[in-house]
Amino acid sequence: MKFSLRLPGILLLGMTLATRTALSQTDVHQHNLAIDAINLGDSLRKKGDVDGAIAAYNQSIALDAHYATPYNRLASVMRDKGNPDAAIAEYSKAIEIDPKNSASYNGRGFSKSEKGDLDGAIADYDQAIAINPKDAVAFNNRGFAKNKKEDYDGAITDYNQAVTLDPKYSFAYDNRATSKLNKDDDDGAIADETQAIALNPKLDTAYETRGVAKGDKGDYDGAIADYDQAISLDPKYARAFHDRGYAKEGKGDHDGAIADYTSAVGINPKYASAYNNRGVSKDNKGDHDGAIADFNLAIEINPKYAAAYDDRGYAKNNKGDHDAAIADYTLALGINPKSVPALFNRATALRLKGSFDAAIADYSQAIELAPDFAMAFQGRSLAKEKKGDAAGAAADHKRALELDPKVPLDPK
């Protein structure tokens, strides 16, 4: 998913001067020197001399402190350096000088979004759009913030406006695809990413997101082809390796999946999901101890990772250690009480150790949350049968078969 952010003022260096009242010849000379300093800073920045660029922008401010553009330039440098607080401060100075510059609000919104202040970001994008209703970048960025707030419909509405204003805006198609994917509209996501790729064949994120949508539809080969392309464009794209591993696991290629997850954590050693999913692939291969080691790493990175506790419990259950498995499932449910997989897995572990009442309670809760979960009905049927409730067992077994004629007779 991509932000877009124009560097404010690159093509409008005289803008602020034009909005002022009459200036003396000395003031005009100082302002022109300030423009020269900005141009020097831009040149140094392109060459990778960030410190030199900062010095040049500060020199521009010293020459003309009432000129908004160098503050915007400093803000964008601070953003690139990973300092959103400093960026927000510089954008705010630019806005104080020139409150009609939509790019300054857009930039400040960008930095607020990076900090997680999504409401503050949206307010700044609102202001940018009020100043310039044809600012496709501001609509795109506001959509990005709305998507992060899980307002997917609101995000799509903003992306629609962005591509209406700029039909060649590949990032907006890419971002709209992500929001559609979040709404389970896989076909819509694929269509948008195909359009993004047509506009920008080197947009790695478009291939990656299209791969996710294809994988969701069960087209693992198509997904892998898209991940291959994303990785060829960016060999350090950890998420593409991760998601390609997921697709390979979907095809039953455990070794290929493990190799891709290993590449992902080699690029990003803090990638908890990659450790977790590598553990799943190892567990599916029968390497339960190796799986548990990976789940431990995922939990060490993110102690609130409910799925990792659930998956670790599953591996322990596969080793026959039902009590340890139940303990992990309980930890997962402590983090996410509505985790259907954890409820089902704990119910199964309880059933296997003979705690039928507790198992039935967990199966029932899983069914309440997921009424079409055939394996939960079948598991509850087995627990009821063990308790001598033949009628209840038969009813649950019948319902399981109605939901899935191929439901395993002993789901685990």
- Kindly indicate the confidence band of residue 243, based on its pLDDT and cuts at 50, 70 and 90: very high
Q: What pLDDT sits at residue 26?
A: 60
**What pLDDT digit, counting tens, does each position of 16-47 carry?**
433 444 555 667 778 889 899 899 999 999 99
Alpha-carbon span 241 to 232, nearest angstrom:
11
Q: Which amino acid is at 31?
A: H
Q: Helices 136-148 & 118-131, crossing angle to 10 degrees?
A: 160
- Would you call 106 helix, strand, or coil by DSSP? helix
The domain that contains 152 carries what CATH number?
1.25.40.10
As a whole number, mean pLDDT of residues 124-138 equals 97
The answer to whether the CB of 213 falls within 8 A of the CB of 177 is yes
Alpha-carbon span 99 to 131, nearest angstrom:
9
- What would the two tokens of residue 157 be? 């509405």
Query: What is the span of the domain harbouring residue 102?
Result: 1-165
Q: Is there a domain that residue 31 lies in?
A: yes
The answer to whether the CB of 294 falls within 8 A of the CB of 278 is yes
Alpha-carbon span 228 to 130, nearest angstrom:
42
Q: What pLDDT sits at residue 66?
A: 87
The answer to whether the CB of 346 falls within 8 A of the CB of 326 is yes
Q: Is there a domain that residue 397 lies in?
A: no
Cα–Cα distances in angstroms (integers) from residue 71 to residues 10, 17, 49, 56, in the given order = 13, 15, 18, 11
Q: Is there a domain that residue 21 lies in?
A: yes
* Nearest of 49, 99, 41 to residue 91 by alpha carbon: 99
Q: What pLDDT sits at residue 25?
A: 60
- Kindly indicate the confidence band of residue 10, based on its pLDDT and cuts at 50, 70 and 90: very low
The answer to whether the CB of 345 falls within 8 A of the CB of 330 is no
Q: Is there a domain that residue 54 lies in?
A: yes
As a whole number, mean pLDDT of residues 6-14 equals 31
As a whole number, mean pLDDT of residues 268-272 equals 98
Cα–Cα distances in angstroms (integers) from residue 133 to residues 102, 127, 269, 409, in the given order = 10, 10, 43, 60
Q: Which amino acid is at 154?
A: G
**What pLDDT digit, counting tens, does each position of 151-205 carry?**
999 999 999 999 999 999 999 999 999 999 999 999 999 999 999 999 999 999 9
> Which residue did the predictor score with more confidence, 1 or 11?
1
- Would you call 257 helix, strand, or coil by DSSP? helix
Q: Is there a domain that residue 8 lies in?
A: yes
CB atoms inside a 10 Å sphere around CB 405: 8
Q: What pLDDT sits at residue 8?
A: 31
What global pTM score does this model have? 0.85
The answer to whether the CB of 373 falls within 8 A of the CB of 350 is no
Q: Is the pLDDT of residue 346 over 90?
A: yes
User: How many structural domains is the chain composed of?
Assistant: 1
Q: What pLDDT sits at residue 262?
A: 98
Alpha-carbon span 411 to 4, nearest angstrom:
48
- What would the two tokens of residue 368 be? 């309440």
Alpha-carbon span 219 to 4, nearest angstrom:
31
Q: Is there a domain that residue 192 lies in?
A: no
| For the chain, percent of residues with pLDDT exceeding 90 | 89
Alpha-carbon span 74 to 42, nearest angstrom:
11
As a whole number, mean pLDDT of residues 362-368 equals 98
- What would the two tokens of residue 303 be? 């102690």
**What pLDDT digit, counting tens, does each position of 99-109 carry?**
999 999 999 99
As a whole number, mean pLDDT of residues 280-306 equals 98
Q: What pLDDT sits at residue 4?
A: 42
- What would the two tokens of residue 376 be? 């939960």
73 backbone dihedrals φ, ψ, rounded to 5° = -65, -45
Q: Is there a domain that residue 93 lies in?
A: yes
Q: What pLDDT sits at residue 30?
A: 83
- Kindly indicate the confidence band of residue 132, based on its pLDDT and cuts at 50, 70 and 90: very high
Q: HEC states along 7-47? A: CCCCCCCCHHHHCCCCCCHHHHHHHHHHHHHHHHHHHHHHC
Alpha-carbon span 160 to 184, nearest angstrom:
18
* Nearest of 199, 152, 198, 202 to residue 177 by alpha carbon: 152
Alpha-carbon span 169 to 159, nearest angstrom:
10
Q: Which amino acid is at 350?
A: L
**What pLDDT digit, counting tens, does each position of 46-91 carry?**
999 999 999 999 999 999 888 899 999 999 999 989 999 999 999 9
Q: What pLDDT sits at residue 293?
A: 98
- What would the two tokens of residue 94 be? 């630019």
Q: What pLDDT sits at residue 34?
A: 87
Alpha-carbon span 55 to 75, nearest angstrom:
13
Q: Is the pLDDT of residue 5 over 70?
A: no
Average pLDDT over the chain, rounded to whole? Answer: 93
